[in-house]
Amino acid sequence: MALNDLLIPFMKLSNNMHAEALTKAMSRKTGGAGTWRDGLAVTTAYMKKIGTPMSGISLTDGSGLTRRNRLTARGLATFLQKIRSEGWYPAFYASMPVAGNTKRLVGGTLRYRMNGTRAANNARGKTGTLTGVTALSGYVTGRDGRRYTYSMISNYSGSTPRPVENKLVIALANRNR
């Protein structure tokens, strides 16, 4: 399967097995042994090369399904901003779940979020979830026509902060400078 085609089920449905396989494939493609360790070294080197602030970032697997991974909202937002000039960015952007679009392979993990707001069929984002952790990072176009990059990562106990994530993205969608 071509990478452009693989990105759709990977990103829309948050297929963690694809993430693990892609991490290992990046290692093989660059002459490594096809391991997570080598693939993560490729990822880390790329992040540094484009200017992602690495303070507080530590990667230990390809999918994010471990508590040993450490990311920052600043690092993710900077990364998302920097990749906008890459030749592969349009395919990446198209693969992101679309808020409020109930079609499974369009809305993906965001298909039931922000429905009926200005963010619906506008905001694109990638979710992340572990028990007590939720994240949402991506892009949304404001009323002013500008595309905003956002990232929010929350550790919590009790009620989920997902409504706050939604409010952040909706506020950006309504922004009119």
pLDDT tens, position by position, 128-164: 999 999 999 999 999 999 999 999 999 999 999 999 9
Q: What is the pLDDT of residue 118?
A: 98
Q: What is the pLDDT of residue 68?
A: 87
Say whether both 109 and 40 belong to one domain: no
- Residue 149 within a domain: yes
Q: How far is CA 48 from CA 45, 79, 102, in A?
A: 5, 10, 36
The residue ranges of the chain whose pLDDT is under 70 are none
- Residue 83 within a domain: no
Say whether both 100 and 162 belong to one domain: yes
Say whether both 57 and 12 belong to one domain: yes
Under a CB-based contact definition with an 8 Å cutoff, are residues 34 and 25 in contact? yes
- Residue 15 within a domain: yes
- Residue 81 within a domain: no
* Number of domain units in the chain: 2
Domain membership of residue 161 as a residue range: 96-177
- Residue 168 within a domain: yes
**In the 8-state DSSP scheme, what is residue 138?**
E
Say whether both 11 and 67 belong to one domain: yes
Q: What is the pLDDT of residue 2?
A: 84
Say whether both 104 and 170 belong to one domain: yes
Under a CB-based contact definition with an 8 Å cutoff, are residues 101 and 121 in contact? yes
Say whether both 58 and 101 belong to one domain: no
User: Considering the entire predicted model, what is its pTM?
Assistant: 0.95
What's the distance, CA 168 to chain centroid? 16
- Residue 85 within a domain: no
Say whether both 64 and 11 belong to one domain: yes
- Residue 89 within a domain: no
Say whether both 109 and 57 belong to one domain: no
